[in-house]
Amino acid sequence: MGSRMLRGTGKRKFLRLLFLLPYALLRMAKVTYIHPDGSVKVVESENGKSVLQIALENGIPVEHACGGNGFCTTCSCDVQEGQKMIDTGVVSAVNEREENMGVEGPERRLSCQTIVHGEITVKVVEA
Ligand code: FES
């Protein structure tokens, strides 16, 4: 592959794919949780689980008054990095349930409705 092919956005796309390849091959998700007190915890999980599900499986406290059904907003989080690694990869795509609950993307999401497919960083929002 010549250097002419790695210019501008093409180069960025190539580097992004190269960076994401291990996660895609291993079908792994990596989530960095930043809590309101500033503490940080990084965990890995398999792809296709919600931010809330991964947190609970790893003992990370995230409020979830409705049990993860998208009806309370206590699990709100801000996706700070990796927005293309959630849901279908479409930035700002809050789902219908989030929209009905008044959640406005692209950063603010419900952690029970946000499915992870790679590496992301979320800030847990105090309810
Ligand atoms: S746990 Fe209630 S909206 Fe996510």
Closest residue by Cα to atom 3, ligand 1, is 70
pLDDT at residue 45, rounded to an integer: 95
From residue 19, alpha-carbon distances to 15, 23, 72, 118 in Å are 6, 8, 36, 10
Contacts with 3 (C-beta within 8 Å, 6 or more apart), sequence order: none
Does ligand 1 have an atom closer than 6 angstroms to the CB of 72?
A: yes
What's the mean pLDDT in 99-127? 89
pLDDT at residue 59, rounded to an integer: 96
C-alpha of residue 55 to centroid of ligand 1, in Å: 13
User: What pTM was computed for the model?
Assistant: 0.76
Does ligand 1 have an atom closer than 6 angstroms to the CB of 110?
A: yes
Domain ranges of the chain: 28-124
pLDDT at residue 116, rounded to an integer: 93
What's the mean pLDDT in 2-28? 68
pLDDT at residue 88, rounded to an integer: 60
Supply 58's token pair: 């790893």
Supply 26's token pair: 């291993």
Strand partners for 123: 34, 78
Written out in words, the top-level CATH class of the domain with range 28-124 is alpha beta
Q: Give the atom of ligand 1 at the shortest distance from the alpha carbon of 63.
A: 1
Does ligand 1 have an atom closer than 6 angstroms to the CB of 74?
A: yes
The pLDDT tens digits of the residues spanning 66-108 come to 999 999 999 999 999 998 888 765 555 678 888 888 888 778 9
